[in-house]
Amino acid sequence: MAALSHDERMAALTLADVYPYYVTKAVKKGHSERELLEAIG
């Protein structure tokens, strides 16, 4: 079985997979998790 391409791996990601990274990035930029949830929702 061939390895997935970068695009295929990115397409397979869910919000649950990337959410922790979004929280970390938002906090580093001085925002709260609540602000992130407002932006997503």
Confidence band, pLDDT 50/70/90 cuts, at residue 1: low
- Burial of 26: CB neighbours in 10 Å, binned 0-12, 13-18, 19+: middle
pLDDT at position 16 is 93
* Beta strand extents in 1-41 (DSSP E only): none
pLDDT in tens, 6-26: 999 999 999 899 999 999 999
Contact criterion met (CB below 8 Å) for 32 and 40 = no
> What residue ranges do the domains of the chain occupy?
6-40
* pTM, rounded to two decimals: 0.67
Inform me whether the pLDDT recorded for 30 exceeds 90: yes
